[in-house]
Amino acid sequence: MNEYILSTYIFIGLFIIVFVVDYFLINKRKLNLIKNKGLTKKNRPKKIKNISEIDYLTLRFKLDPKKLNLDKIIIFISIINAFIISLVSSIIMLIPLAIIWQMIIAFALLFGLIYALYEIYGRHLKHKEEKK
């Protein structure tokens, strides 16, 4: 099997797995705690955890957190995170270098993609907010 096809399958599989884990197990739980003001389903108080990506976007682009639709935003955040992780891992698998060089390239790609994709998404949110 061609290594590019295998890398594509790994990209798709990782994308789905990372999206499901990030959205349902991490961000959705944090969002439910934020909406319920720190109370769990059994009315036990629990420390409210902020979603760091939303905090970054609101501070960086001076967005009003009250105007944001958090349900849609966490879906897009989970998609962005899944895309970044699966793309970096798929690209690194194709590079025939020593593991240390693969790690260095992976960190550079990771930080570059995080900055670029969150910058694009933040500008999109800012434009959307100004439109309203």
pLDDT at 118 over 70: yes
The answer to whether residues 77 and 27 touch, using CB atoms and an 8 Å cutoff, is yes
Amino acid in the structure at residue 106: A
Q: Quick: pLDDT tens for 73-116.
A: 999 999 999 999 999 999 999 999 999 999 999 999 999 999 99
pLDDT at 47 over 80: no
The answer to whether residues 21 and 64 touch, using CB atoms and an 8 Å cutoff, is no
CA dist 23 and 3 (Å) reads: 29
Q: Quick: pLDDT tens for 57-75.
A: 999 999 988 888 888 999 9
CA dist 67 and 75 (Å) reads: 17
